[in-house]
Amino acid sequence: MSLERFVKKAEHKIRENAPREKPSVLVISSQVVCGCVGMRSAVFALERMGFHVWMLPTIVLPWHPGQGAGERISASEEAFKHIVEQICASDRLNAVKGVISGYMANTAQVSDVANIVQEVKRRNEDAVYLCDPVIGDKGGLYVAERLAESIRDQLLPHADVITPNRFELAWLSGFGTEMENEAVAAARTLQVERTIITSSPAIRRNSISNLLVGPRGSLAIEHAEVQGAPHGTGDLLAALYLGRSLSGQSDEEALKKATASTFELVARSVKVESDDLLYAEHQDSLIQPMALVNVRRVLEAPERA
């Protein structure tokens, strides 16, 4: 083999094995000044995974409301609409292949987010939209009912993935979710391609489960429950799952790794009695988690009418 041919072959192999540039992801959620929830959590995880991240805050708060009272600042409906229109008109949007939406401040924002998701999908047919319907928890709704209805009616129809907790799934579907088979059946009624139910009922004692209801059936990823987990686990799990999915991993592998990372980070944060998820200090957990989780296929009951 000539030297020139050898060099060309080597260069071709290097190009083939070189890391592929990852697409851009748009994160639309709440922004805290201090803390590790909402947009801060999602953006950190995605950038650590090598994604270019666009950020559109729906509201700015000093910290998570569970950590104390604080001023809430949100753009006017007109200003938010204008920035969405400017984003939708830009050629730069062609690079966005993933969208995550979280907390919404008002119903007008919901309509604007629906518009931007539709525009991203018009530009990129393979774009993925993950909707985290942040509307409440076991204590009930913590947004106005009209806002929750808008998220259900305007965002879920465009979503490829949704990540409700057990309460949110029950509210969105109108069905019970106390048992695993009930949660699966409730998810099927929403007619979203993939539903990940966080904090779903687990089979093992003192365990917690993330339950994926998808086109190829359902599976549960379980791990030991950690008492006193900091806020922001749902935001982190959603971002890690989407990032791994956009990187080409299967549903099972993406959720397994995302769950293991979140579990490991929670355990490490609780161990030192931190009120926040310490993802800056334990970045390796986001990329290569060591925590063990259990994967289990779920036998589904007949769909509800």
Q: Which residue has the higher pLDDT, 8 or 83?
A: 83
Kindly report, residue by residue over 215-247, the tens digit of the pLDDT. 989 999 999 989 889 889 999 999 999 999 999
Kindly report, residue by residue over 21-60, the tens digit of the pLDDT. 789 999 999 999 988 899 999 999 999 999 999 999 999 9
C-alpha 17/C-alpha 28 separation (Å) is 33
Six-digit token pair at 96? Answer: 């966005």
Per-chain mean pLDDT for the chain = 90
Q: Which of 222, 218, 171 is nearest to 200 (CA)?
A: 222
Six-digit token pair at 151? Answer: 């998220």
> Looking at this protein, which amino acid is placed at residue 268?
R
Q: Which of 184, 198, 190 is nearest to 158 (CA)?
A: 190
Burial class (CB in 10 A: 0-12, 13-18, 19+), 74: middle
C-alpha 226/C-alpha 233 separation (Å) is 12
Q: Which residue has the tokens 């409730």?
A: 186
C-alpha 298/C-alpha 197 separation (Å) is 13
Predicted TM-score (pTM) of this structure: 0.90
Residues 6+ apart with CB under 8 A from 299: 181
What was the pLDDT predicted at 36? 86
> If you average pLDDT over residues 54-68, what whole number do you get?
88
> Looking at this protein, which amino acid is placed at residue 242?
L
